[in-house]
């Protein structure tokens, strides 16, 4: 199993040139799947448009303000900030490469892997057609699920390395901190990206990005049966029975290098 995981990790580390090819931005939001990406994007997009007197984001994903790295610029008055769920190429770990190539400042949004997996399963279970325990064990080759424990491990290991070795160019944001102290976390992002947003603007953006208000802005192109804003408040650990917890801990013990202080074994 270890050799298979290392093989697929290396294959992705040396084949994904996206962040090298697409890098001329004012800021790049990198996030785990189901880590609050839509919420953070909506708050930032609302704050930026409110500051400039522009229309607020039309839909929950705020792609008309903060789009993907391949999308055209929506408005030249806005800072060019993009978002993706991307694992960096191995060259980004090279200090020499980073001196030769200009990279955007990365904000990396993470969440407790266990909660992220539950959220992903709830969102896509109609498509996965399996029980949670089967999904939890994942597919190390990366073919069956759009996100699973193995993708999360590759994401955390790769970005954990960059957060550790290049802190000046990489800001770590935890979903749990964003949830408990949204204003403080947004202020940190504002300072890191030098967006010039004041406290009143950020507070307005937080208010406009409640679950209730965002649920009213669902994209009509969202696939049928997919829930973007979860209304289920069931604690995520209730999904894990004793065997699932043991399996999760064993996989993390063997393969996870950077846990971002989530202390999964505890």
For residue 185, how many other CB atoms are within 10 A of its CB?
Answer: 21
Answer with the residue of higher pLDDT: 9 or 253: 253
Q: What are phi and psi of 89, to 5 degrees?
A: -65, 150
What's the sign of the alpha-carbon dihedral 201, 37, 116, 104? negative
Is 56 within a domain?
yes
- Residue among 29, 30, 34 at smallest CA distance from 226: 34
- Low-confidence winner among 5-9, 56-60, 62-66, 254-258 (lowest mean pLDDT): 5-9
pLDDT band at 229 (very low <50, low <70, confident <90, very high): low
In whole angstroms, what separates CA 85 from the centre of its chain?
Answer: 6
Provide mean pLDDT across the span 11-15: 80
Read off the pLDDT band of 232 (50, 70, 90). Answer: low
Give the Cα separation of 153 and 1 in Å (integer). 14
User: Are the CB atoms for 84 and 154 separated by under 8 Å?
Assistant: no
User: Does 264 reside within a domain?
Assistant: no
Q: Model-level pTM?
A: 0.92
Q: How far is CA 194 from CA 39, 102, 186, in A?
A: 20, 17, 12
Lowest mean pLDDT segment, chosen from 45-49, 54-58, 195-199, 213-217: 213-217
266 is a domain residue: no
**CB distance 30 to 41 below 8 Å:** no
> Does position 243 have pLDDT exceeding 90, yes or no?
yes
Q: Is residue 180 part of a domain?
A: yes
Strands (DSSP E) found in the chain: 27-31, 81-84, 106-110, 170-174
Per-residue model confidence (pLDDT) at position 74: 83
260: in domain: no
Phi/psi at 135 (5° precision):
-60, -40
3-class SS letters over 180-195: HCHHHHHHHHHHHHCC
Q: What is the pLDDT of residue 179?
A: 97
Is position 23 within any domain?
A: yes
- How many domains, the chain? 1
- Look at residue 246 and tell me if it is in a domain: yes
DSSP tag of 76: T
Task: Examine residue 94 and state whether it is found in any structural domain, yes or no.
Answer: yes
Check residue 231 and give its pLDDT. Answer: 57
CATH code for the domain of 39: 3.40.50.300
DSSP 8-state class, residue 245: H
- Tell me: the pLDDT tens digits for 74-97? 889 999 999 999 999 999 999 999
Lowest average pLDDT, out of 28-42, 124-138, 192-206, 212-226, goes to 212-226
Whether 221 shows a pLDDT value over 80: the answer reads no
Q: What is the mean pLDDT of the chain?
A: 92
Distance CA 29, CA 44 (A): 11
DSSP string, 30-56: EE-TTSSHHHHHHHHHHHHHHHHTPPP
- The pairing of strands 106-110 and 170-174 is parallel
Q: DSSP secondary-structure letter at 138? A: -
Contact 171, 159 (CB under 8 A): no
Q: What is the pLDDT of residues 123-147, one digit of tens each?
A: 999 999 999 999 999 999 888 999 9
Between 86 and 5, the higher pLDDT residue: 86
Supply the range of the domain harboring residue 181.
2-255
Segment 238-253 shows an average pLDDT of 94
């Amino acid at each position: 199993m270890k050799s298979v995981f290392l093989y697929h990790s290396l294959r992705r580390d040396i084949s994904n040139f996206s962040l090298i090819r697409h890098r001329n931005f004012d800021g790049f939001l990198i996030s785990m799947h189901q880590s609050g990406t839509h919420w953070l994007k909506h708050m930032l997009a609302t704050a930026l448009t409110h500051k400039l007197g522009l229309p607020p984001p039309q839909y929950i994903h705020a792609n008309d303000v903060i789009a993907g790295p391949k999308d055209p610029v929506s408005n030249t008055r806005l800072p060019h900030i993009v978002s993706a769920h991307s694992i960096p190429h191995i060259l980004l770990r090279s200090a020499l490469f980073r001196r030769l190539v200009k990279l955007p400042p990365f904000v990396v949004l993470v969440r407790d892997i266990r909660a992220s997996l539950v959220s992903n399963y709830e969102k896509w279970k109609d498509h996965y057609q399996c029980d949670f325990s089967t999904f939890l064990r994942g597919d190390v080759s990366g073919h069956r699920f759009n996100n699973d424990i193995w993708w999360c491990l590759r994401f955390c290991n790769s970005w954990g390395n960059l957060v550790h070795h290049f802190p000046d160019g990489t800001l770590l944001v935890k979903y749990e901190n964003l949830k408990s102290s949204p204003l403080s976390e947004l202020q940190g992002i504002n300072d890191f990206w030098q967006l010039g947003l004041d406290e009143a603007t950020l507070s307005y953006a937080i208010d406009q990005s409640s679950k209730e208000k965002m649920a009213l802005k669902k994209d009509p192109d969202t696939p049928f049966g997919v829930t973007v804003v979860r209304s289920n408040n069931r604690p995520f650990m209730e999904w894990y029975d004793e065997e699932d917890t043991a399996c999760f801990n064993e996989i993390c013990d063997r393969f996870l290098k950077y846990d971002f202080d989530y202390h999964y074994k505890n």
